[in-house]
């Protein structure tokens, strides 16, 4: 086995280390913590999910997809390394993510049953039924009017599924009961929805310097957004409502200390980027 070709490594690191909120790894670790589990053993999974998220951003930004030049205030991967490298860097990040989970789980001597469930769900939530399916629906949606239901369905897959996967991974690692696993999943989907509504709001009223991409780009691209469908004020009201609903999902369980998870929900409500 040989090393990673230097330019490929650079392209992978460029996007992986481009900053961002690290929301998904934070969700993995916060969920483990909320259940009183061992956070160190969860680190490879937190990293792997960030790698999956990063690959999806690199591919989404490609000229044949969303055709974005900037992401997090930096040129997108293909603008720096070329389209071919961006595709391959994404492919490599996705592939290595699964390897990291198998390796990390083996080294941490996790129960194999749990580890295999996490890997299997990774493919389900990130794959054709999940995140990739959401990107397909999103592409199809660009060609016509999108209803609120369709918009939520797209976001549920495109953003929600990987957030749900993050929280579920933490739940498996932290030994959650089936009931709490289910509630944590609902929490994550609501969090993903709130996240997306806030994203759409920030695209209207945000500060370009802070959010790192041009403000108003959604409208320019005629993208379906919450402000476009509901108006700005109603979108803000919905954001608060969904955030509160998310927090209620994780309240009242003896096995779960929800402080950090609620903190994440509050942070997302207030974020300006």
Kindly tell me which residue out of 19, 22, 40, 84 binds its own copies, with binding defined by CB under 8 A. Answer: 84
Q: Which stretch binds its own copies (CB under 8 A): 39-47, 101-109, 168-176, 229-237?
A: 101-109
Burial classification of residue 3, based on how many CB atoms lie within 10 Å of its CB (0-12 exposed, 13-18 middle, 19 or more buried): exposed
Q: Whole-angstrom Cα distance, residue 24 to residue 102?
A: 19
CB 248 within 8 A of CB 28: no
Find the binder of its own copies among 50, 68, 96, 190 (CB under 8 A).
Answer: 96
* Euclidean distance between CA atoms 228 and 164, whole angstroms: 26
Q: Considering beta carbons, is residue 98 or 253 the nearer one to its own copies?
A: 98
| C-alpha to C-alpha distance for 220 and 96, rounded to whole angstroms | 36
DSSP of 41-59:
HHHHHHHHHHHHHHHHHHH
* Contact stretch for its own copies (CB under 8 A) within 7-15, 23-31, 176-184, 214-222: 7-15
Q: Which stretch binds its own copies (CB under 8 A): 69-77, 151-159, 173-181, 198-206?
A: 151-159
Nearer to its own copies, 59 or 247 (CB): 59
Contact mark string toward its own copies, 223..262, x via CB under 8 A? ----------------------------------------
Site string for its own copies, 34-73 (x = CB under 8 A): ---------------------x---x--x-xx--------
The answer to whether residues 244 and 268 touch, using CB atoms and an 8 Å cutoff, is no
- The DSSP result for 180-247, as a single string, is HHHHHHHHHHHHHHHHHHHHHHHHHHS-HHHHSS-TTHHHHTT---HHHHH-HHHHHHHHHHHHHHHH
| Per rule CB under 8 A, count of chain residues that contact its own copies | 61
Residue 129 touching its own copies (CB under 8 A): yes
Note whether 186 binds its own copies by CB under 8 A.
Answer: no
Task: Return the closest-CA partner of residue 193 out of 123, 143, 265.
Answer: 265
Question: Which residues lie near its own copies (CB under 8 A)?
Answer: 1-5, 7-9, 12, 55, 59, 62, 64-65, 82-85, 87-88, 90-92, 94-100, 102-103, 105-106, 112-113, 115-117, 119-120, 122-130, 132-133, 135-137, 139-140, 153, 156-157, 161
């Amino acid at each position: 086995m040989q090393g990673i070709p230097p330019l490929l490594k650079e392209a992978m690191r460029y996007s992986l280390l481009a900053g961002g909120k690290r929301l998904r790894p934070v969700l993995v670790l916060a969920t483990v913590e909320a259940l009183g589990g061992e956070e160190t053993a969860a680190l490879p999974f937190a990293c792997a999910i960030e790698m999956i998220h990063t690959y999806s951003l690199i591919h989404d930004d490609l000229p044949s997809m969303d055709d974005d030049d900037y992401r997090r205030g930096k040129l997108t991967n293909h603008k720096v390394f070329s389209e071919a490298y961006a595709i391959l860097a994404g492919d490599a990040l996705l592939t290595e993510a699964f390897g990291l989970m198998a390796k990390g789980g083996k080294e941490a001597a996790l129960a194999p049953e749990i580890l295999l469930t996490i890997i299997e769900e990774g493919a389900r939530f990130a794959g054709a039924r999940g995140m990739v399916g959401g990107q397909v629906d999103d592409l199809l949606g660009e060609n016509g009017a999108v209803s609120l239901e369709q918009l939520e369905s797209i976001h549920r897959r495109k953003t929600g599924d990987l957030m749900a996967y993050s929280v579920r991974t933490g739940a498996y690692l932290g030994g959650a009961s089936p009931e709490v696993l289910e509630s944590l999943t609902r929490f994550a989907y609501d969090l993903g929805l709130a996240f997306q509504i806030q994203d759409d709001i920030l695209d209207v009223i945000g500060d370009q310097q802070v959010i790192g991409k041009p403000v108003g780009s959604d409208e320019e691209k005629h993208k379906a957004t919450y402000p476009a469908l509901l108006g700005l004020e109603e979108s803000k009201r919905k954001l608060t409502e969904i955030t509160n609903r998310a927090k209620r999902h994780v309240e009242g369980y003896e096995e779960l200390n929800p402080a950090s998870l609620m903190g994440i929900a509050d942070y997302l409500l207030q974020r300006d980027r």
